[in-house]
Amino acid sequence: MRGLFLMLAWLTGAGGHGLDLGTLPAPATGVEMPSAEAGADFHSLDHTVTRLVPGAKLTGARYFRLGQSLGFQPVIKQIANLALEHKATPVSMPARRPGYDLIDAWRVNAAAGLAVVMAPGNSGHPLVAYFALKLD
């Protein structure tokens, strides 16, 4: 387990940029769901990232179910501010449909990135996922 955490820390640039998937703050009212318990709703977020972020391969994920309906802006703003503080740069997503595809991604270093995705969820509670990425 420690080896997996160290690999995630390296891939997300924790050594050089201070961003680590495991230490990103949970969204307000978010309850973290273990990956093994994340159902098809959550795994559709995985597909969203690989479809919209050019050349991305998922190397880690954290999943959250929000306790109340929050807009994407409060969720993304928290992570975007951290990414910008650590000199991460936005990733271009030409196929993204603004207002429909609720995703943002940043390049943390030459080969790694971070993405945040949100979806409505079947239970009426929004789903949010943070992803560590390997980028081409």
pLDDT in tens, 30-64: 888 877 666 777 888 999 999 999 999 999 999 99
Q: What's the confidence (pLDDT) of residue 36?
A: 64
What does pLDDT average to over the chain? 81
**CA dist 88 → 74, 114, 120 (Å):** 19, 9, 27
What is 2-134's CATH topology?
A: TATA-Binding Protein (3.30.310)
Nearest to 86 by CA among 135, 23, 32: 23
**Are 52 and 135 spatial neighbours (Cβ–Cβ below 8 Å)?**
no
What average pLDDT does the segment 8-16 reach? 40
Nearest to 80 by CA among 105, 99, 60: 105
Residue type, 9: A
- Who contacts 81 (Cβ-Cβ below 8 Å, separation ≥6)? none
The two structure tokens encoding residue 8? 């995630």
Alpha-carbon distance of 116 to 106, in angstroms, equals: 9
Q: What's the confidence (pLDDT) of residue 61?
A: 93
| pLDDT, greater one: 100 or 52 | 52
pTM, rounded to two decimals: 0.82
Q: What's the confidence (pLDDT) of residue 10?
A: 37
Is the per-residue pLDDT at 2 higher than 80? no
Three-class SS of residue 120? Answer: coil
Q: Which of 20-24, 40-44, 132-136 has the highest mean pLDDT?
A: 132-136
List the single range of 5-9, 63-67, 85-89 with lowest mean pLDDT: 5-9
Q: What's the confidence (pLDDT) of residue 68?
A: 73
